[in-house]
Amino acid sequence: MKTVMIIGAGQLGSRHLQGLAKIGMPLNILVIDPDSNSINLSKDRYQEINNSIHQIEFLNAIPNEMPPIDVAIVACSSHVRFSVVKALLAKTKVRFLVLEKLLFNKREEYDLMEAVLKNTNTKVFVNCSMRMMPIYVYAKEILKSSVVKASISGSQFGLVTNSIHYLDYLVYLSNSHEFRLDTSQLDFPSIVSKRAGFKELNGTLKALFDNGSRIEINCYPKGKMPIIVQLESDSARIICKESEGRAWISTEENGWIWEEIEAKIPFQSQLTTELVNTLLNEGASKLVTFQESSSTHLQLLEGLKSFLIEHGDTNHEYPFT
Over the stretch 3-29, which tens digit does the pLDDT of each residue have? 999 999 999 999 999 999 999 999 999
pTM score: 0.96
pLDDT of 242 > 80? The answer is yes
Closest CA to 97 of 73, 121, 81: 73
CA–CA gap between residue 104 and residue 84 (Å, rounded): 11
Q: Is the pLDDT of residue 147 over 80?
A: yes
* Residue 52: pLDDT over 80: no
Give residue-wise pLDDT tens across range 293-318.
999 999 999 999 999 999 888 777 88
Q: Is the pLDDT of residue 235 over 80?
A: yes
Say yes or no to pLDDT of 282 above 90.
yes
Is 2:280 a contact under the CB 8 Å cutoff? yes
pLDDT one-digit tens code per residue, 175-220: 999 999 999 999 999 888 877 778 899 999 999 999 999 999 999 9
2-128+270-286: CATH superfamily: NAD(P)-binding Rossmann-like Domain (3.40.50.720)
Pick from 273, 308, 289: nearest CA to 15: 273
Model pLDDT, residue 196: 73
Q: Rounded to whole angstroms, how far apart are CA atoms 127 and 133? A: 12
Mean pLDDT of 280-298: 98
* pLDDT for res 104: 96
Domain extents for the chain?
A: 2-128+270-286, 134-265+300-308
Which CATH code is given to the segment(s) 134-265+300-308?
3.30.360.10
Query: 164 and 128 in contact (C-beta within 8 Å)?
Result: yes
Choose among 201, 204, 203: nearest CA to 192.
201
Question: What is the spatial distance between Cα 67 and Cα 233, in angstroms, rounded to a whole number?
Answer: 49
**Number of helices and strands (H, E) in the chain?**
8, 17
On the question of pLDDT at 159 being above 80, the answer is yes
Instruction: Report whether pLDDT(124) > 90.
Output: yes
